[in-house]
Amino acid sequence: MKAVHFGAGKIGRGFIADLLHNSGYEIIFVDVNEKVNKELNQYHNYYLYIIEEDYKKIEINNVSALSPITQGDDVTKVIVDADLVTTAVLADNFPKIAGNLAAGLKARFDAGKEKINVIPCENALFCGDMLKKEILGTGTITEEELDQVAAIPNTAVDRMVFGTDRDGRDGIEAGKDYELAVEIDKLVDSSKLPIEGAEYTDDLQRFLERKLYVINGGHAWSGYMAHVMGYEIIQDYFADSANVEMSKDVMTQIGALVAKKHGFTAEEMKEYIDFALNRFLTPGITDTVARISRSPIRKLGAADRLVGPLTQCEEAGLPNDMIAKGVAATFLFDVKEDEQSVELLQYVAENGVEKAITKYTGIQEGTALFDKVIKAYKQLKK
């Protein structure tokens, strides 16, 4: 079996291709990085190093690579003959790969080939719908033709991966735990699952919210609190067991909401929270608080990782005091290199934190929830 995979970066090689390899596919990467492409074509393998298993070395073989820029015709041909197409390019880069995908799928349609799964594995809500829109936007293939030749499900993805250079080769360090959830009802055939190790579901929203709220929300909360407490490296914050318990407590509050909404068991949520915390408790990993906490305005969105669970817990009558503290801490995130931090604090300085809370979170002044956030803000500011 042959899989064409767009994106030979850390997620592409360190996560998706690992699953493709274990599923028995020969993998043809499509990437603009000529250095990586040259290595893949020279050696036809690369190596993963599993962090929690003392960096155990795993070979991913039977691989090659093509450039979408200089080998566009070859990319089209391999899509025509492929058994599966996947992506891991960051959803923002969909416009850059849409032309190659559209050309390949159109040629496949014209050749009368069978319908194929095109599975985008991106950290973005409803990435399958986004990719389909970009492919149709090229004008190369009609929606009717695309629907006949390709099934494009939405997914939820998560794995800890880092680039590494070992023995002069470009490799990947990866966490042993991961999640790839795929919409089963949007596959070509729901009885034929294309990737081993993935989780297939007819309710992807539960996985998307679990990841966004518990993992992304818990990590963002930890970053903003760490900043208020004076930490610059997030692992230094987590080196204190009291801080670990604080972050675990907020993830537990969020997890109670997710479990109630989507039917996860208490044991499932506990395991998932441990999985989320493991990111920052893994030895040898270093990350800055500034990076973890970047783009605070985006993260204060009404449906995003902090305010979403805060307001929904309030509506459901669930505890949310810890979540409120994290929302409040966001308004104290002061990093001059972060444009959104500068904009947020400038608005607070000119208009007051009360107006800022309503403007950026949608939480209305005069409500009990608003008072909860203001109280936490004043305590943290001291």
Q: Which of 168, 202, 236 is the last residue of a domain?
A: 202
Q: What is the tally of structural domains in the chain? A: 2
Question: pLDDT-based confidence at 52, cuts 50/70/90?
Answer: confident
pLDDT one-digit tens code per residue, 233-251:
999 999 999 999 999 999 9
Q: What is the mean pLDDT of residues 58-79?
A: 98
pLDDT one-digit tens code per residue, 151-191:
999 999 999 998 888 888 889 999 998 999 999 999 999 99
Predicted pLDDT at 92: 87
Q: Which of 146, 171, 202 is the last residue of a domain?
A: 202
Predicted pLDDT at 361: 97
DSSP calls for 236-249: HHHTSHHHHHHHHH
- Quote the distance between the C-alpha of residue 55 and its chain's center: 23
Residues 192 and 254 in one domain: no
Q: What is the DSSP letter of 338?
A: -
The residues, ordered by sequence, that sit 6+ positions from 197 with a Cβ below 8 Å of its Cβ are 19, 22, 23, 178, 180
253 vs 177, which has greater pLDDT?
A: 253
Predicted pLDDT at 209: 92
- C-alpha–C-alpha distance, residues 105 and 87, integer Å: 14
Residues 193 and 210 in one domain: no
Q: With a cut of 90, say whether residue 131 has pLDDT above it.
A: yes
pTM of the complete model: 0.84
| CATH number of the CATH domain containing 138 | 3.40.50.720
Predicted pLDDT at 168: 83
Residue that the structure tokens 């994290």 belong to: 326
Residues 183 and 212 in one domain: no
**Are residues 170 and 46 in contact, defined by beta-carbon separation less than 8 angstroms?**
yes
pLDDT one-digit tens code per residue, 292-312:
999 999 999 998 999 999 999
Q: Which of 202, 227, 248 is the last residue of a domain?
A: 202
Structural domain boundaries, residue 76: 2-202
| CATH number of the CATH domain containing 265 | 1.10.1040.10
Residues 219 and 244 in one domain: yes
